[in-house]
Amino acid sequence: MEQLQHLNLPAPSSNGIDSSIITNEPFIAANTISISQEEIMDKHIIPVFVKDNTPLISHMDFVALAKKKAEEFYNIKILSSCIRVSHPIKGRIYSARKKPVKDLLEHEKTIYYERMAFTLTIPGFKTTLHGKEVDLKLVGVKSYQQDNLYQKSGGIQKFKIGIGYQVLACTNLCLTADGAAFDIKVQSIEGLSSALDELLNSFDPVANMDNFSKLDEDFLTEQQFANLLGRCRMYPFLSKEAKLDLPNLRLSDRQVSLVAKNYYKDGLDVSSGISLWELYNLMTDAVKTSYIDTFLERNLGAFELVKGIQGALEKENGFSWFLN
């Protein structure tokens, strides 16, 4: 809370994000659960740097700061959010150290979640993309697993943020490199504030939309689609030397299988091929099965792969291997 006051941020318990408008939209699935800010604030402890017991930037500090920055930048009021967490770290108070688990009382338990992701809906940018409604979202990811807690205060803390559109019908996020910052390393909440400022200032919503506007103009034949899936299955087993000449593939083997499964499940017309917009949505839907700490990178990887494939349809490039 002291960190919030230092930056003149509203306390989440009073003027932060109202839990009544926290949504359960599954922008990520995997092993995550939806959670309210009240539960985080009332029931979760905050990890500390163990050498001096100084708290790290808490999950709610992160969410409240992102909300404040977006509201100031766009001069709007954010009323919709979604917070999801995974990997609970459980404990108990000293007096309950010998109790069986089944006998523990609520006040004797401690918990925090190692990983957290959230989306904030930025009003005023709702539009239509290829016949589907989309909203603009600010996304944040925090994984304490990536921090070294065995040090004093002032140690590096890592964060990931992104801004981009979300397809409302399927809750798929659409992220590109100009709306992503996945390697944020800060020593204080002021550093995180600067990183959010930089992302918001550099992001152009109109130009970003152009990245997706022409994806429905190009198609893969069923044979090309089959070649793409087969190459994606082969990619993990290539030698390091062979991979040096190819673009990075971030989708997992299981996610490639989900793309194939949903190709038929969604009833796409195989006779006329598949548009790159349809392909992109199959991939972004599959990456929702990622763990929180890899979700944003794989989401961006889906866009980079589809855009590369689009280029390969016009002329030979590094992505042509996936279609051959």
pLDDT of residue 324: 87
CB atoms within 10 A of CB 324: 10
Rg for the chain (alpha carbons), in Å?
A: 21
Q: Closest by alpha carbon to 41, among 24, 17, 23?
A: 17
The ranges assigned to domains in the chain are 2-210, 214-322
Q: At what angle do helices 222-234 and 253-265 cross, to 10 degrees?
A: 160
- For 218, phi and psi rounded to 5 degrees? -115, 145
Region 70-88 average pLDDT: 94
Region 132-147 average pLDDT: 95
Pick 296 or 26 by higher pLDDT.
296
Question: What band does 13 get if pLDDT is binned at 50, 70 and 90?
Answer: very low
Whether 227 contacts 235, CB under 8 Å: no
Whether 258 contacts 284, CB under 8 Å: no
Q: Closest by alpha carbon to 132, among 167, 164, 166?
A: 167
Q: Closest by alpha carbon to 70, among 144, 137, 159, 155?
A: 137
Say which DSSP state 31 is in: T
Region 179-183 average pLDDT: 95
Pick 162 or 21 by higher pLDDT.
162
Beta strands in the chain (DSSP E): 33-34, 48-49, 54-55, 81-92, 109-129, 132-143, 157-167, 172-174, 180-186, 219-220, 274-275
Whether 118 contacts 140, CB under 8 Å: yes
Cα distance between residue 116 and residue 60, in whole Å: 10
C-alpha separations of 292 from 120, 159, 180, 306 in Å: 16, 12, 15, 22
pLDDT of residue 8: 52
pLDDT tens digits, residue range 255-292? 999 999 998 887 676 667 899 999 999 999 999 999 99
Whether 209 contacts 129, CB under 8 Å: yes
Lowest average pLDDT, out of 21-35, 139-153, 165-179, goes to: 21-35
pLDDT tens digits, residue range 15-61? 444 443 444 457 998 889 999 988 999 889 999 998 889 999 999 99
Region 145-149 average pLDDT: 93
Burial class (CB in 10 A: 0-12, 13-18, 19+), 80: middle
Region 241-260 average pLDDT: 93
Whether 277 contacts 212, CB under 8 Å: yes
Region 61-78 average pLDDT: 96
pTM to 2 decimal places: 0.88
Q: Which residue has the tokens 């309210």?
A: 36
**H-type helices in 236-291, by residue range?**
240-244, 253-265, 276-286
Cα distance between residue 255 and residue 289, in whole Å: 8
In sequence order, what are the residues at sequence separation of 6 or more whose Cβ sits closer than 8 angstroms to the Cβ of residue 183? Answer: 158, 160
Determine what percent of the chain is predicted with pLDDT higher than 90.
72
Strand 172-174 and strand 157-167: the pairing is antiparallel
CA atoms within 13 A on the CB side of 105: 6
